[in-house]
Amino acid sequence: MNANISDKLPSFEQFVNLHEASGLIKNKKGSYTREQLYQAANNSWYHISIYDQNELIAFGRMISDGVYQALICDVMVNPSYQKQGLGKQIIEELLKKCKESGIQSIQLFSAKGKQHFYKKLGFEERELDAPGMTLVI
């Protein structure tokens, strides 16, 4: 594999293809079009992409105030490339950006069943007396 990393937003087609291949689109709460999901990625504070040749094989993004809070979301790896360290590499690149910007508080949205992966990278589940909360309207 000849992987290269970029902080440029992938093309619409590349993004949509990875989103669907990874299965992440099924985990979304609410109904969003492909165009809306791409616009969300475009509106992110920072995003990172990994390519094999010209194929987008991994992607992750963050939203942030740029000062002290960041939220990692939409980390996805093409199933054909999983178990090769690409998800870890995406997280490391996102955390590097936070460190460079002085951001110390980093939250994370995880797909169902992926908590163990993030725990290995140092993330902790929220305390029971301080749970994160969600409202879908």
Is 81 among the residues known to form the active site? no
Residue 126 included in any domain: no
- Give me the number of domains the chain comprises: 1
In a domain, 130, yes or no: no
Q: What is the pLDDT, as a whole number, of residue 60?
A: 96
- Residue 132 resides in a domain: no
Listed in sequence order, the residues at least 6 apart from 63 whose beta carbon sits closer than 8 Å to its beta carbon are 43, 44, 45, 70, 71, 73
Catalytic residue among 38, 46, 51, 118: 118
pLDDT digits (tens, 9 = 90+) for 15-25: 999 988 987 76
Does residue 83 form part of some domain? yes
* Domain, as residue range, for 110: 3-120
Identify whether 45 is part of a domain.
yes
pLDDT in tens, 37-68: 999 999 999 999 999 999 999 999 999 999 99
Quote the pTM value: 0.88
Could you tell me the maximum CA-CA distance found in the chain, to the nearest angstrom?
46
Backbone torsions φ then ψ of 90, nearest 5 degrees: -60, -50
Q: What is the CATH number of the domain that holds 41?
A: 3.40.630.30
